């Protein structure tokens, strides 16, 4: 199949790696990609958020499936334009992508569909925000109502910090004040064709910067899959009470969700609650979910894009576990230092079970350099989490990036 993958992160590298692993002779192009992706498939320097440019490229190159990685092209309406021209695309249109882009929209859909989530108030003024903050009490949860690249959320017991966060984001629009949900977090990805869903294997993301879940929220510092501690029937419960009601509600509103429904969940003492939906594969969870996928990914993505998931069985996963640890640049997340050399990847890749998904990398003057905050995801599979962790951390020790840092406790809680 001729496939175009939009995006330039470790998630897109992991998607491409899974497609190549099928050995099905796919002709894959990535736009714009990164240095790691360019080592595997041709890359093209087009703007993935420009619907006209992407659609023209797809038509000119007889692309049979477009896979949209990041949220920005979704919110820009790239999927809508491709669909208008009859091109199969994995990724929702602009209206359904608001499930991620607008937290207010997501809350309304959940209300209409009866999906369990925390209580929340949308505040347009500081007075409204203060009232909600004091109603729910500490710990306080204050979120920007819009795309904020993972940085718009503050969870804190410090009331002044909560008010300062609300004041800052009120300057850019409205904020959402939510009740704090206490429990383990789960990321569950579901493929959706607009009407039917199929689940992938659950994963857990580490959102905080530092060991012990300290420090600021980030885009994600590591992940593991599967989650051995999940109660039996968890995935079925999420399908029945969360995913299908949400997909049906969107279909009923004439904005069908075709793509990856990312359910960000908290397993509280009184049941499963949604903390957020995303309209795309999660990063870094994708880097641990896809290496374990046995069913060919291209068939799943294509079936979702043409309304054909109803005929397919649930995707199968290997018994191996996977761990990923993100290597970040000095200064991430506030002010990442870029331009520094990365070396040692060959030594890392020689370790059994290790792969590397590139995120912010480029070639410059014959060197591989870091171009952003999350530089790469080291991924390791293994028979159990002790083995996978040991492989991943040995690989990280082999990689050299001045000032580079990573968490040392990814998947520690599930390793024996
Ligand atoms: P979000 O961008 O909405 O996923 O929020 C980022 C992170 O903040 C989540 O992964 C949680 O760790 C935390 N968080 C968000 N909302 C809540 C909530 N209502 N209760 C507890 N933690 C939350
Ligand atoms: N891992 C969090 C996200 O992709 O939004």
10 Å CB burial of residue 133 (0-12, 13-18, 19+) is: buried
Q: Relative to the CA of 282, which ligand 2 atom is closest?
A: 4
For residues 82 and 66, give the distance between their C-alpha atoms in angstroms, rounded to a whole number.
8
Q: In the beta sheet, which residues pair with residue 204?
A: 224
Q: How far apart are CA 158 and CA 56, in angstroms?
A: 51
- Cβ–ligand 1 distance for 146 under 6 Å, the answer no
pLDDT for the residue 198: 98
Cβ of 351 less than 6 Å from ligand 1: no
Minimal-distance CA residue to ligand 1 atom 12: 207
Ligand 2 atom with least separation from CA of 11: 4
* Mean pLDDT of the region 208-218: 94
Q: pLDDT of 302-337, one tens digit each?
A: 999 999 999 999 999 999 999 999 999 999 999 999
Of the pLDDT bands very low, low, confident and very high (cuts 50, 70, 90), residue 102 is confident
Distance CA(259)–CA(240), nearest Å, equals: 18
- The owner of tokens 């949604």 is 274
Q: 201 phi and psi, to 5 degrees? A: -80, 140
Tokens of 64: 């049979």
The alpha carbon of 283 and the centre of ligand 2 are apart by a number of angstroms equal to 5
Beta-bridge partner residues of 267: 184, 272
- Give pLDDT tens digits for 158-177: 999 999 999 999 998 889 99
What digits encode the pLDDT tens for the residues 261-298? 999 999 999 999 999 999 999 999 999 999 999 999 99
Ligand at minimal distance from the CA of 146 is: 1
The C-alpha atoms of residue 257 and residue 113 are separated, in whole angstroms, by 14
Query: How many angstroms is it from 264 CA to the middle of ligand 2?
Result: 8
pTM for this model (two decimals): 0.95
pLDDT tens digits for 23-47?
999 999 999 999 999 999 999 999 9
Q: Is 264 in the pocket of ligand 1 (CB under 6 A)?
A: yes
276 lines ligand 1 (CB under 6 A): yes
Distance between CA atoms of 92 and 90, rounded to whole angstroms?
7
Ligand 1 pocket, 176 CB below 6 A?
no
pLDDT tens column, 1-21: 999 999 999 999 999 999 999
Please check whether residue 223 is in contact with residue 378, taking contact to mean a CB–CB distance below 8 angstroms: no
Q: What is the mean pLDDT of the chain?
A: 96
CA distances in angstroms from 333 to 185, 226, 256, 405, listed in the order given:
21, 27, 34, 11
Q: What is the mean pLDDT of residues 359-380?
A: 97
- Give the Cα separation of 195 and 209 in Å (integer): 37
* DSSP calls for 286-316: HHHHGGGB-S-HHHHHHHHHTT-GGGSPPPP
The Cβ of residue 25 has, within 10 Å, a number of other Cβ atoms equal to 6
């Amino acid at each position: 199949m001729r496939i175009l993958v939009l995006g330039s992160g470790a998630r897109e590298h992991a998607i491409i790696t899974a497609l190549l692993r099928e050995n099905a002779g796919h002709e894959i192009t990535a736009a714009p990609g990164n240095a790691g992706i360019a080592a595997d498939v041709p890359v093209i320097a087009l703007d993935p958020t420009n619907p006209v440019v992407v659609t023209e490229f797809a038509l000119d190159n007889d692309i049979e499936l477009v896979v949209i990685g990041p949220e920005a092209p979704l919110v820009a309406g790239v999927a809508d334009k491709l669909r208008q021209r009859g091109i199969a695309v994995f990724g929702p249109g602009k209206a359904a992508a608001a499930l991620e882009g607008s937290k207010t929209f997501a809350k309304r859909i959940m209300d209409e569909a009866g999906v369990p989530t925390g209580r929340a108030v949308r505040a347009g003024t500081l007075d409204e925000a203060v009232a909600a903050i004091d109603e729910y009490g500490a710990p306080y949860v204050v979120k920007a109502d819009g795309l904020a690249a993972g940085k718009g959320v503050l969870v804190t017991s410090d009331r002044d910090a909560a008010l300062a966060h609300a004041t800052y984001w009120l300057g850019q629009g409205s904020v959402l004040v939510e009740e704090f949900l206490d429990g383990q977090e789960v990321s569950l990805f579901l493929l959706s064709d607009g009407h039917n869903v199929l689940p992938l294997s659950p994963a857990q993301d580490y959102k905080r910067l530092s060991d012990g879940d300290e420090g600021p929220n980030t885009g994600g510092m590591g992940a593991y899959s599967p989650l051995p501690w999940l109660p039996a029937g968890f995935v079925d419960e999420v399908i029945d009470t969360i995913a299908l009601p949400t997909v049906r509600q969107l279909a009923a509103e004439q904005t069908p969700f075709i793509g990856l429904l990312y359910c960000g969940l908290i397993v509280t003492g009184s049941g499963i609650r949604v903390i957020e939906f995303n309209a795309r594969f999660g990063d870094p969870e994708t880097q641990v979910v896809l290496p374990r996928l046995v069913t060919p990914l291209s068939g799943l993505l294509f079936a979702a894009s043409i309304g054909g998931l109803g005929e397919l069985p649930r995707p199968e996963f290997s018994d191996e576990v996977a761990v990923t640890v993100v290597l970040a640049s000095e200064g991430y997340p506030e002010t990442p230092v870029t331009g520094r050399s990365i070396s040692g990847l060959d030594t890392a890749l020689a370790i059994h079970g290790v792969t590397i998904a590139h995120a912010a990398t480029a070639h410059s003057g014959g060197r591989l350099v870091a171009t952003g905050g999350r530089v790469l995801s080291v991924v390791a599979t293994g028979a159990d989490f002790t083995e996978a962790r040991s492989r991943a951390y040995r690989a990280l020790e082999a990689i050299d990036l001045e000032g580079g840092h990573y968490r040392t406790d990814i998947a520690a809680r599930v390793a024996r």
